[in-house]
Amino acid sequence: MQDKAKIYTVSQVNSLIKGILQNQLPARMVVAGQISDWRHHQNGHCYFLLKDDSAQLPCVMWSSNFSNVPFEVENGLAVVAKGYVDVYIPGGKYQFYAESMQPEGVGALQLAFEQMVKKLRTQGLFDETHKKPLPPYPEKIGILTSESGAALQDIKKSIFDRWPCAKLLFYPVPVQGEGAAKKIAAALGDINRRNRQLKIDVLIVGRGGGSMEDLRAFNEEVLARAIYGSKIPVISAVGHEIDTTIADLVADARASTPTKAGVIAVPDMYEVLEQLTGIETTLSDRIKTKLRDRQQQLDEFGIRIVSAIKGLLIEAKDRLHDIYDSIIRIEPHRLLGRKTVDLNNWENRASAAMRAIINKCGMQLTAQKNRLAGLNPKSVLQRGYSITTNPKTGLLVRSTTDVRLGDLLITELADENLIESKVTKK
């Protein structure tokens, strides 16, 4: 009697195939292909096909592995995936289980950088219209960097060399490694929320140069959006001249090195002093011109007053003559005494009016002279005061801190008299 053929269940067949594949195939293999039918499930798992010109391979990538992929996966992208082949018994098909993935022909970080630049540029995060102007004379500057790196010292030195009156607030943050971008972004948010009390004028975020992996935190989206959303102007100071990060592109200003960040953040003290000296000279010249103009106006006003007084006197004299002629024509001998009194009254009233006018004009003239004298910054010299200037600095000497031993000083007295002296003791 012929032996009865063994009957296998579907699960057994699939299990047999799985065992054969496990025994015959390498435990791990690297597969190159083009992404197709990409599906990213809400639980984080990914399902896709790897294709070449003549075949396709079903693939799975679990969420725990996909979370380590730094670039954005999309259909048509050529990749190299590392993993293993196994059989999915319930579905009766074999699949490639990808454990890691790299773009073919370009580094993963470089591709991630290019993808992020394209995405954020499309969304307007790099637009110049959004960038905030830096304050011309900042009082308080916030620095976000590592407390162990050289960037902090470079920034501090460049700021204090140019603008020693600045106050610095250091906020230590990690600048590389897992989670660094989120921590820097959180620090930016914290400073912005508390800035009503902190009163920071500008922020510097940066670190020294390094590899693309070292600078990865400054290319992540979470930090880019934190910089974009900062109400305080942000200077990005990452790396050396050749390094450009997404933080550089989105920041309000970019410094190619931490040292240059300090140069960008603050003005040069000596340039500001030179500008102030120029402004002082301009103001002094304008005051002198204004004083001369007021003096000329005062002279013209005096001439008009004298002319007006002469006109009034002539008018009064003419009226007196007319009155006298009228009296003569009517021959009022019997009224002569009374008219004589009237005439004297008119004369007294005219004299009183002229004196009142002269007194009023004199008071106005005195007031104008007093106002003119009050505008003269050197009027105090006539009262025994003096003005001492340090020619070396070009500034007035207000305290002993404005001079040094050996400095030559110029003291101006009344009537443009000058005294030159030398500091021998403070």
Domain range for residue 164? 113-267
> Are residues 207 and 276 located together in one domain of the fold?
no
Reported as a single tens digit per residue, the pLDDT across 362-399 is 888 888 877 776 666 676 777 778 888 888 888 888 88
Q: Of 52, 81, 105, which marks where a domain is finished?
A: 105
> Are residues 30 and 163 located together in one domain of the fold?
no
> Are residues 369 and 404 located together in one domain of the fold?
no
The reply to whether 100 falls in a domain is yes
The arithmetic mean of pLDDT across residues 179-186, rounded, is 95
The CA distance from 204 to 182, in Å, is 17
- Looking at the predicted structure, is the pLDDT value of residue 326 above 90? no
The CA distance from 421 to 235, in Å, is 49
> Are residues 296 and 341 located together in one domain of the fold?
yes
The reply to whether 382 falls in a domain is no
* 412 touches 426 (CB < 8 A): no
Per-residue buried b or exposed e for 209-239, using 16+ beta carbons within 10 Å of the residue's own CB:
bbeeebbbbbbbeebbbbbbebebbbbbbbb
Lowest mean pLDDT of 143-147, 200-204, 289-293, name the range. 289-293
Percent of the chain with pLDDT over 90: 34
Q: Of 55, 70, 105, which marks where a domain is finished?
A: 105
The reply to whether 5 falls in a domain is no
> Are residues 263 and 277 located together in one domain of the fold?
no
Angle between helices 336-375 and 269-330 (to 10 degrees): 170
Beta strand 140-145 with 418-422: parallel, antiparallel or unpaired?
Answer: unpaired
The reply to whether 350 falls in a domain is yes
The reply to whether 4 falls in a domain is no
Determine if residue 232 is left, alpha or beta; phi over 0 gives left, psi from -120 to 50 gives alpha, anything else beta.
Answer: beta
The reply to whether 409 falls in a domain is yes
The CATH number linked to 205 is 3.40.50.2300
> Are residues 253 and 148 located together in one domain of the fold?
yes
Global model pTM greater than 0.75: no
Number of compact structural domains in the chain: 4
> Are residues 205 and 174 located together in one domain of the fold?
yes
> Are residues 126 and 261 located together in one domain of the fold?
yes
> Are residues 391 and 356 located together in one domain of the fold?
no
Q: pLDDT: is 343 or 303 the higher one?
A: 303
Q: Of 267, 298, 326, which marks where a domain is finished?
A: 267
> Are residues 125 and 254 located together in one domain of the fold?
yes
- What is the average pLDDT value for the chain, to the nearest integer? 86
The CATH number linked to 37 is 2.40.50.140
The arithmetic mean of pLDDT across residues 18-35, rounded, is 82
Q: In this predicted structure, what is the pLDDT of residue 3?
A: 63
Q: In this predicted structure, what is the pLDDT of residue 239?
A: 73
> Are residues 234 and 285 located together in one domain of the fold?
no
Q: In this predicted structure, what is the pLDDT of residue 218?
A: 93
Reported as a single tens digit per residue, the pLDDT across 31-40 is 888 888 899 9
Reported as a single tens digit per residue, the pLDDT across 260-287 is 999 999 999 999 999 988 898 889 888 8
The arithmetic mean of pLDDT across residues 337-341, rounded, is 73
Lowest mean pLDDT of 129-138, 320-329, 331-340, name the range. 331-340
Q: In this predicted structure, what is the pLDDT of residue 375?
A: 67
> Are residues 331 and 190 located together in one domain of the fold?
no
